[in-house]
Structure 1
């Protein structure tokens, strides 16, 4: 039986084949599978916690504003600050870097206290807790994120003071 004869590869085909092999080697392509993404760093949990906290504060403000419309002039600017905080924090969040949970910041369902004084006390308490949490977060974050968290925490501390009737 005669052996099948294939024409010798052309010089162009040999060059292209060699180039493809070199390119695959340089770019790290393998037939084993794709490399796993590195695990998220500690800042991811700090950032997602801050995002969730801002979403919870916004939900509390919205519940109080729905229940106590007479407080709108006083509370709407504070609510708007938290909306801005959330937007800035979310710009720092890279989807897929969290630890397996859904994209952060679903707004929880919140019920406002029945009296205005209790509603203001609840907001004041939430603002104080948030300010304290941002200070703790800033210690665990890299300098850029720490600065942002510290600024947000300072704003929240100012909100708490404002809600207490201070300047």
Structure 2
């Protein structure tokens, strides 16, 4: 085998530098990082749990003490989901919310046990479809949350 000429070595080095974006004086290529599907799923799950907790909290505050154990389980789910969210992407609790121009918002529908039951049923039905976007450990958590939600749909009291 014959040794490479100086010209071949320099040409190869220049080609590698061009491919790697390491040319003198020029910025490297801009790499746009696509959002991680699991990260997006976690954000979606967290937002859903926050809404659910808000609904339960409204009924508990209005005298529905029977719902406190259900609320506590949703708060545990939320804490477990937040633990899996990378620190750099987790919203800091002290950061102020962006101010928006006030807009008239319709009053939210009244929170009822039937509405909670329906919410729990729909959430439990959604969980199996979310498993395909998740790592095995997160899939386990999602399946566990879904099972709990299905049980909530059945176990919610008929009246307060």
Fold similarity call, TM over 0.5: yes
Aligned to 2:69: 77
Q: 1:53 aligns with which of 48, 51, 54?
A: 48
Q: 1:145 aligns with which of 130, 138, 151?
A: 138
- The count of aligned residue pairs is 123
CA RMSD of aligned residues (A): 3.2
Q: Which runs of 5+ in 2 are unaligned?
A: 1-23, 98-106
Separation in structure 2 between the aligned mates of residue 35 and residue 60 of structure 1, nearest angstrom:
44
Q: 1:155 aligns with which of 138, 145, 148?
A: 148
Bigger radius of gyration among the two: 1
- Residues 104, 148 of structure 1: CA spacing in aligned structure 2 closer, same or farther, 3 A cutoff? farther
Q: Which runs of 5+ in 1 are unaligned?
A: 1-29
Q: Does structure 1 residue 92 correspond to structure 2 residue 87?
A: no
Deviation at 1:36, TM superposition (A): 5.5
Relative to the length of structure 2, the TM-score reads 0.64
